[in-house]
Amino acid sequence: MTERIVLAYSGGLDTSVAIGWIGEATGAEVIAVAVDVGQGGESLETIRQRALGCGAVEAYVADASDEFANEYCMPTLKANALYQGHYPLVSAISRPVIVKHLVKAAREFGATTVAHGCTGKGNDQVRFEVGIQTLGPDLKCIAPVRDLALTRDKAIAFAEEKGLPIETTKKNPYSIDQNVWGRAVETGYLEDIWNAPTKDIYDYTATPEFPPAPDEVTISFQAGVPVAIDGVRVTPLQAIKELNRRAGAQGVGRIDVVEDRLVGIKSREIYEAPGAMALITAHKHLEDITVEREQARFKATVGQRWAELVYDGQWFSPLKRSLDAFIEDTQQYVTGDIRMVLHGGQAIVNGRRSETSLYDFDLATYDTGDTFDQSMARGFIELWGMSAKVASGRDIRVAGK
């Protein structure tokens, strides 16, 4: 029986050429796997037909947009996950759901190998292959660009020689990855980190310099998940899309950062994540009134480690699973409404309310009705500072000898 290889297929030039390139290099049949994670653009059926036209023996297509929003974006939101304090893991969280469908397709079609289009210097090769090793430890992995010398120039020449039904162009200098959670742009002139990004690289966000009138929005959460916008019930996918539209129109969610890649190099990235950044901002402010102080402090550390694990391709790891359990426990009371104003590139919270809030007006007020017993403060301060006071006395005593 001829060996079969499952290929993560985007419908673009490189993966379209990879179908025939892999076949010629290995003699195997190629099954193309396309997964919709809310990236927009062409229909899955169009992509399916292109894959078959480029030589795939089968084409597996999956609309995973709701799955992606529910099972990958929402855990990211609950963790308030921002890698290095900036990046909301746009590409990193899409790879595990794609891996899940790659392994499923490999089982369905009897494939022994999974292929992806990553280079040898990026993070995604790790995310794909570690995920595949975890979910399908018997499967092998190959990367045509990395392992079979498929460069872009060779891809264009191959497509033209074979007459493949795919546009071939050298005009776009950028590498772009997008889904409903956001959009990532790199390479080209952006690799000079002194160069400012030009307006043409943005798609999810309008320029914030000349914004429309301020847009006030109320986001309702239930156990850490957005369930309504301005009182209208929404699914997680609908919430992200609506805030992509409204926050994007105000230029919210533009990120320009030099980040530390897993492979040890620094890389300049431009991100657009209007819906993600608006939701994370709102969610964090709701946590500020519903999560107990020490729990919240520790959660910030957990969220940072969670983001690092996911960025590093460890979505399916035991540690990430354990951190998930802690984060989920913290969301029990994260229910309520956040009002925010979207304007000029900013999402600014100006109101919050919750039936499970820990904010006590009578304890917080300085006016009549204050129930806080200020007489307790003096003894508290004495005890709180006791260890430092004793240590300071020791230092003075030893220094005087």
In a domain, 327, yes or no: no
217 and 71 in a common domain = no
Q: Give catalytic status of residue 312 as yes or no.
A: no
Marked catalytic residue, from 36, 50, 124, 246: 124
Query: What is the number of structural domains in the chain?
Result: 3
In a domain, 301, yes or no: no
* Residue 341 belongs to domain with CATH number: 3.90.1260.10
Question: In whole numbers, what is the pLDDT of the chain averaged over residues?
Answer: 94
184 and 139 in a common domain = no
So what's the pLDDT on residue 100?
98
Q: Give catalytic status of residue 230 as yes or no.
A: no
215 and 147 in a common domain = no
* Residue 28 belongs to domain with CATH number: 3.40.50.620
* CA R_g for the chain: 25
pTM of the model: 0.94
In a domain, 262, yes or no: yes
- Rounded mean pLDDT, 154-179: 80
pLDDT over 70, % of the chain: 99
In a domain, 303, yes or no: no
- Rounded mean pLDDT, 110-124: 92
86 and 232 in a common domain = no
185 and 50 in a common domain = no
Known binding residues for ATP: 8-16, 117
Q: Quickly list DSSP for 22-36.
A: HHHHH--EEEEEEEE
225 and 139 in a common domain = no
Count of CA atoms in the C-beta half-sphere (13 A) of 213: 2
**3-class SS of residue 367:** coil
Among candidate residues 86, 122, 41, the one with its CA nearest the CA of residue 273: 86
392 and 270 in a common domain = no
**3-class SS of residue 338:** strand
In a domain, 153, yes or no: yes
247 and 234 in a common domain = yes
Q: What is the pLDDT of residues 23-50, one digit of tens each?
A: 999 999 999 999 999 998 889 999 999 9
Q: What is the pLDDT of residues 169-202, one digit of tens each?
A: 666 667 889 999 999 998 888 999 999 999 999 9
Marked catalytic residue, from 63, 66, 146, 175: 175
So what's the pLDDT on residue 150?
84
Are the CB atoms for 289 and 359 separated by under 8 Å?
Answer: yes
Among 140, 171, 202, where does a domain finish?
171
E strands within 23-106?
A: 29-36, 58-63
156 and 84 in a common domain = yes
Domain range for 370 = 366-399
Q: What is the pLDDT of residues 237-253, one digit of tens each?
A: 999 999 999 999 999 99
Q: Give catalytic status of residue 392 as yes or no.
A: no
- Rounded mean pLDDT, 289-296: 98
What are the distances in angstroms from CA 15 to CA 9, 50, 100, 158?
6, 11, 19, 12
In a domain, 343, yes or no: yes
Are the CB atoms for 300 and 79 separated by under 8 Å?
Answer: no
Known binding residues for L-aspartate: 119, 123-124
259 and 134 in a common domain = no
Q: Quickly list DSSP for 247-262.
A: HHHTTTTEEEEEEE-T
Q: Give catalytic status of residue 324 as yes or no.
A: no
232 and 342 in a common domain = yes
What pLDDT band is residue 401 in, cutting at 50, 70 and 90? confident
In a domain, 314, yes or no: no
So what's the pLDDT on residue 168?
63
Among 171, 188, 219, where does a domain finish?
171
In a domain, 304, yes or no: no
103 and 249 in a common domain = no
Marked catalytic residue, from 4, 14, 48, 246: 14
Known binding residues: 8-16, 87, 117, 119, 123-124, 127, 175, 259, 271
